[in-house]
Amino acid sequence: MLIRRGGPDIPSSEITREEDYLNRREFIGRVGAGALAAAVGGVSIASDNASAQTAPGGRQSSDPLTPLESVTRYNNFYEFGFDKEDPYRNSGGFVPRPWTVVVEGHVNKPAAYDLEDLIRPFTVEERIYRLRCVEAWSMVIPWRGFPLRDLINRVEPTSRARFVAFETIFRPAEMSGQRSRVMDWPYVEGLRMDEAMHPLTLIATGLYNQNLPNQNGAPLRLVVPWKYGFKSIKSIVKISFVESQPPTTWNRMAPEEYGFYANVNPEVDHPRWSQARERRIGELLRRPTLMYNGYGDQVASLYRGMNLVRNY
């Protein structure tokens, strides 16, 4: 799919409307422009250059996309406030460029990478994921980005790297929520190495084929679609390759409620609410929550033999 971005040399009449973008599958099927990519357990993949790509072993997602307005105005990003609309209201003064990401730890190529230099070598794709947040609501979002494993391979981790740790930027002057002491800033998260190397794990640089809005984690964030949303850390400035399981913000704050793994598991309730059903934003009724958020065929093998109640 060839997508032209707006600019002074492109008249508004040639810019694809959001409703056309949302209906692009129907349009492509009608004019016979070819099939969209096959999907990884509900993840559609289409390159920026009109050539379809096939991901291993999946099916085409039929889930309707969550409207852009909901994606950008209803989310959790506590660095900008604790109400769902606070990130949209309070993030206008955040400056996401220029941006540097520090890569450190057990890697052969540690460095402070300029954002553009960091992401330039990678093929940017669109991936449509179900993203489920911890309060039992979910969205279906067309992320733009690349597999995290591409970046990992580039920096060449050593055999001592068993986990990948991430850290969000700390800028209380621009991020009003960080002036509060409700949380221990900066926000930190982590993955086991095999989770980080899984093809579903994405470094997102945009959504709806535009750069990430500030409130959604500009300029780059993690997306791990089989886990709860708080694992998908935003506005990343540090990636560390470590031997031991790294601390994570919610596990550190409330270990009895939030484990390191945070896999979507409807059979294990949160201590304060049921996780058996979820509300898809834009729908009135709740639907059953799917194990691993519907990606079990792709990721269940990562946890074979583990006690999924103890390792929540």
Asked whether residue 1 is domain-assigned, the answer is: no
Tell me what percent of the residues of the chain surpass a pLDDT of 70: 80
- Give the pLDDT score at 179: 97
Asked whether residue 123 is domain-assigned, the answer is: yes
Asked whether residue 29 is domain-assigned, the answer is: no
What residues have CB less than 8 Å from 240, skipping those under 6 apart?
103, 104, 105, 164, 165, 166, 167, 246
Asked whether residue 14 is domain-assigned, the answer is: no
Asked whether residue 7 is domain-assigned, the answer is: no
Q: Are 248 and 301 in contact (CB under 8 A)?
A: no
| Residues 71-108: tens digit of each pLDDT | 999 999 999 999 999 999 999 999 999 999 999 999 99
Distances, alpha carbon 258 to alpha carbons 187, 216, 250, 253, in Å: 14, 22, 6, 8
Q: How many CB atoms lie within 10 A of CB 243?
A: 13
Dihedral sign of CA atoms 148, 154, 155, 157 in order = positive
- Give the pLDDT score at 26: 42
For 126, the token pair is 């669109």
Coil vs helix vs strand at 213: coil
Residues found in the chain: 312
How many domains does the chain fold into?
Answer: 1
| Residues 237-272: tens digit of each pLDDT | 999 999 999 999 999 999 999 999 999 999 999 999
- Give the pLDDT score at 282: 92
- Give the pLDDT score at 19: 52
Asked whether residue 6 is domain-assigned, the answer is: no
- Give the pLDDT score at 62: 66
- Give the pLDDT score at 61: 52
User: What range defines the domain where residue 101 resides?
Assistant: 35-303
Q: How far apart are CA 17 and CA 3, in angstroms?
A: 11
Asked whether residue 12 is domain-assigned, the answer is: no
| Residues 2-16: tens digit of each pLDDT | 333 333 333 333 334
Asked whether residue 210 is domain-assigned, the answer is: yes
Token look-up 């920026």 returns 48
- The C-alpha R_g of the chain, in whole angstroms, comes to 19
CATH number at residue 211: 3.90.420.10
The pTM for the full model equals: 0.82
Instruction: Give one DSSP letter per residue of 211-264, joined into a string.
Output: EPPGGGTTT-EEE-TTBBGGGS--SEEEEEEESSPPP-HHHHH-TTT--SS-B-
Q: How far apart are CA 89 and CA 91, in angstroms?
A: 6
- Give the pLDDT score at 279: 94
CA atoms within 13 A on the CB side of 232: 30
- Give the pLDDT score at 34: 30
Token look-up 């409703």 returns 19
Coil vs helix vs strand at 30: helix
Which residue positions in the chain have pLDDT lower than 50? 1-18, 20-21, 24-60
Coil vs helix vs strand at 276: coil
- Give the pLDDT score at 17: 43
